Amino acid sequence: MARTYAFELSGEHDTLPRSEALALLEVYSRGFRELCLLDQCLIVEAEDLNVQTLSLRLAMTHRILEVLAICDTHLDSLADAANSIVIPDKAYRVRARNVKNAPLQGDQVEREVGRVLYKRGYKADLTKPEVELRAIITGNKVVLGIEVARAKRFEFEGRRPHLKAFFYPGVLMPRMARALVNISQAKEGDLLLDPFSGTGGILVEACLVGIRCIGIDVQKKLVQGAKVNVEGLDCTLIAGDARRLPFRDCSLDNAVLDTPYGRSALIRAESKEELLDNGLAELHRVLKPRRRIVVVAERQIDDHITDANFAVREIHTDRVHRSLTRYIFVCIKY
């Protein structure tokens, strides 16, 4: 049976949280459709959604709610919504989040919903509730639902690059790396390649959700260092050239790659263009049909991607600092 869910998005990026959620919805539901995108809140209808597995993977979502009601940001509308919902006959708690400068404050929503539910005979428990009601106040709407899953975003903090056994500057942060792995739609047991693996940050995030990984890097010192970071994980590291991959045609499921950029990047190709063109052509050769790759670059390279016979599905931008904006390309092999 299809149910309505709200993804409480993190807001740390304008477009990637939605892209990540939609990519995983394709993997972990029988079918879904996007109903509405509000500021930091994605509302979908999905059938047989595995919310617990989904929440263990998500990097840019705080919580998943099963939606009970959506109303305007007026107290009388909120009271009507609270009167209409049915929740389990268990001790509950109401918690609200105000997105940016929404008209209603969180404590106003919590008090009003609590007042109505108390009049209806429901019992609250603010310390050990059995049911967590959640309200997302965004724009001119209040989304009211039961929290069914919560992402463990705090775990990413312990895997920040400088805390790892082997550190090298200029790498992706763990939450970004996980989001890109999720957007690639790699599933448990799939084989994912990072042909510019560096310190192994992307590989670590993929391995932690049950994906088998292979990393390749031209710099032997990075391969040796990355081995320490991926120790104990289902990951193979190879010192090699992204332009000459040692794999059979159509043998890999997914690829996520942060291409070399910046003046300090070590490149043994004739040029960055030659590296991109031949590297992408090799990825197309080894990737299975209708599977995704996610490519991070320092500039627009969609012409290189299409020349390699990939279709570009999405393009995202990520401003790192004044002199660096990352471009993120979500691509599919047809």
Domain locations in the chain as residue ranges = 2-150, 156-333
Q: What pLDDT, on the 0 to 100 scale, is given for residue 285? A: 99
**What is the mean pLDDT of the segment spanning 164-168?**
95
Share of the chain above pLDDT 70, in %: 98
Q: What pLDDT, on the 0 to 100 scale, is given for residue 101? A: 87
pLDDT digits (tens, 9 = 90+) for 269-291: 778 899 999 999 999 999 999 99
Q: Which fold has domain 156-333?
A: Rossmann fold (3.40.50)
**What is the mean pLDDT of the segment spanning 51-58?**
96
**Secondary structure element (H or E) that encloses residue 258, with its range:** strand 254-258
pLDDT digits (tens, 9 = 90+) for 317-331: 999 999 899 999 999
Per-residue HEC secondary structure of 16-76 comes to: HHHHHHHHHHHHHCCEEEEEEEECCEEEEEEECCCHHHHHHHCCCEEEEEEEEEEEECCHH
**What is the mean pLDDT of the segment spanning 199-228?**
98
Average pLDDT, the chain: 96
Q: Name residues whose C-beta falls within 8 Å of residue 7's C-beta, 6 or more positions apart in sequence.
A: 17, 21, 41, 42, 43, 44, 61, 63, 64
Q: Is residue 158 scored above 90 in pLDDT? A: yes
Q: What is the DSSP letter of 287?
A: B
**What is the mean pLDDT of the segment spanning 153-163?**
95
Q: What pLDDT, on the 0 to 100 scale, is given for residue 264? A: 45
Q: Is residue 231 scored above 80 in pLDDT? A: yes
pLDDT digits (tens, 9 = 90+) for 23-47: 999 999 999 999 999 999 999 999 9
> Cα–Cα distance between 313 and 330 in angstroms, integer?
5
pLDDT digits (tens, 9 = 90+) for 106-124: 999 999 999 999 999 999 9
Q: What is the DSSP letter of 227?
A: H
Pick the CATH number of 2-150 from 2.40.50.140, 3.30.2130.30, 3.50.50.60, 3.90.76.10: 3.30.2130.30
Is residue 61 within 8 Å of 180, Cβ to Cβ?
no
Token pair of 275 as six digits: 């590296």
Q: Is residue 74 scored above 70 in pLDDT? A: yes
> Cα–Cα distance between 207 and 179 in angstroms, integer?
13
